[in-house]
Amino acid sequence: LSNRPTPELAASELEALDRRHVLHPHQRSQRSERRVIVRGQGSTVWDANGRKLLDALGGGIWVAQVGHGRAELAEAAAEQAGQLAQFTGFFEYGNDKSIRLAERLAALAPANINRTYFTCGGSEGVDTAIKLARLFHHRRGEPDRNWIIARHFGYHGATYGSGTATGIPDMQVAVGPNLPNVEKVMPPYPYHMEMYGGQNPTDFLINELSQTIERLGARNIAAMIGEPVLGGGGVIPPPDDYWPRVRKLLREHGILLIADEVITAFGRTGTWFDSEPRGMSPDIITVAKGITSGYAPLGAVMVDDEIVETVTGGEHSFFHGYTYSGHPLACAVALANLDLLEKEGLLERSLAIGARFRTGLAPAAEIPVVGDIRVVGATVGIELVVNRETREGVSMDLALAVADDLYETHNVITRNYGPTLVLSPPLVFTDQETDRTSAAIVEVLRRVD
Ligand code: PLP
């Protein structure tokens, strides 16, 4: 696999065709350069020029848990393609691989969660979770419970539903009416204590959430959605008491909690699911990305038993289906991927990578442009600031220039989310690759004025 030739077209031709024919997800209007990746092995990828790059992003972002070019996953995909690539599982049809994967997820999930609805990715999963939450209340005779509480800085996807729940305003601009009845509250952001008016952040946030519930009316609210650790917002872990107190408050008001674990699940933060250790006790968990390490598009919505019984019980149908839900090839790949995560101890490895980043990045803490370094398992956010006193973030252009510099000077792939430089390497990142990434970052940041 690793010796496959590069594509027949030259890099320059591919780049020209890309500009002409491809509309990129999150395309930046001001950038004309293209980076065409054609091959991967372990934590290394090659572009169409044959340039070798260290993938500290994990296959685009937060995806490639087991690394690139894994024969085990290629074989699982090929075998399943030969056996049964697809048979849409609408109504009473199913396939062996999605059944086995659903069983496996139930065994890993909290005890109250035993059913899975499959999607093609995270955005579809979040839309499905929102629908399920609203349906649950409708079926229980509370049809006014339609509001969804989401959070500023949260990222939940790009469809209308998940995009409205996303707390990054660009997502909602100039696309007409967004999903109605979505309200945003603040998340915990310990580096920016100014947001909480000098109060303890959790006290402030619980107070804000209580007031929001009161203003909307508890009987009008279906669910709250949140990432256990904010990912796209800049890798921001909450204080320990945040989720337990949110959970308690929501429970008192009959409001469901959706844990969006599209980033955090499958070892990224060192556990199968991050919501449990953080005290979320969610009613619904959405996952994607690391479930197949990106070898096939797949998402999953894992649902509490009572919700499933209420939504589908008696005469009720659940009229919500995607052609590729439970796609056998994607599910076969996911099963093989979970085997690898287990067999190779990659959940533990995730924590070891994080510990090594902490050490390797420690010298960066002294660099003036570095405001905060946050490490959660094998993901890192380095928040860059123009002023350490005010904690004002650097411009998007400067943060982007840092990521570009790492690419150009050190052949290391990273990405900025706003002013925060983000890392999410494969969980097979070696000690040497981790140290190389840290050293490159320190070197580049030292050169920032
Ligand atoms: N939820 C979270 C937490 C995410 O980070 C993402 C994507 O980055 C999504 C949902 C959307 O997933 P997808 O891009 O697979 O639709």
Gap from CA of 270 to ligand 1 centroid (Å): 19
Which one of 26, 127, 155, 324 would you pick to mutate in the ligand 1 pocket, going by the greatest count of ligand atoms within 8 A of its CB?
155
Gap from CA of 124 to ligand 1 centroid (Å): 9
Nearest to 34 by CA among 52, 46, 17: 17
The structure tokens listed for 336 are: 């093989």
Q: What is the atom index within ligand 1 of the atom nearest the CA of 124?
A: 16
Report the C-alpha gap between 144 and 160 in whole angstroms.
21
Q: What's the complex ipTM?
A: 0.99
Domain locations in the chain as residue ranges: 11-66+345-446, 73-343
- Whether domain 11-66+345-446 has CATH 3.90.1150.10: yes
Beta carbons within 8 Å of 324's beta carbon, 6+ residues apart: 86, 88, 120, 297, 330
Q: What is the pLDDT of residue 449?
A: 75
Query: What are the strands, taking DSSP E only, across 143-228?
Result: 147-151, 182-185, 221-226
Residue with the nearest Cα to atom 1 of ligand 1? 156
The structure tokens listed for 217 are: 């009316």
Gap from CA of 61 to ligand 1 centroid (Å): 10
Q: What is the atom index within ligand 1 of the atom nearest the CA of 297?
A: 15
Per-residue pLDDT 10s for the chain (449 aa) are 445 545 689 999 999 999 999 999 988 877 888 999 999 999 999 999 999 999 999 998 999 999 999 999 999 999 999 999 999 888 899 999 999 999 999 999 999 999 999 999 999 999 999 999 999 999 999 999 999 999 999 999 999 999 999 999 989 999 999 999 999 999 999 999 989 988 999 999 999 999 999 999 999 999 999 999 999 999 999 999 999 999 999 999 999 999 999 999 999 999 999 999 999 999 999 999 999 999 999 999 999 999 999 999 888 889 999 999 999 999 999 999 999 999 999 999 999 999 999 999 999 999 999 999 999 999 999 999 999 999 999 999 999 999 999 999 999 999 999 999 999 999 999 999 999 999 999 999 999 97
Q: What is the atom index within ligand 1 of the atom nearest the CA of 121?
A: 15
Q: Helix or strand or coil: residue 44?
A: strand
Cβ(121) – ligand 1 distance below 6 Å: yes
Q: What is the pLDDT of residue 33?
A: 86
Residue with the nearest Cα to atom 12 of ligand 1? 122
Q: Alpha carbon of 283 to those of 70, 184, 253, 258, 307: distances in Å?
A: 34, 20, 14, 6, 8
Top-level class of domain 73-343: alpha beta
Q: What is the atom index within ligand 1 of the atom nearest the CA of 288?
A: 15
The structure tokens listed for 218 are: 């508890």
Exposure string of 5-30, with b = 16+ CB inside 10 Å and e = fewer, is ebeeeebeebbeeeeeeeeeeeeeee
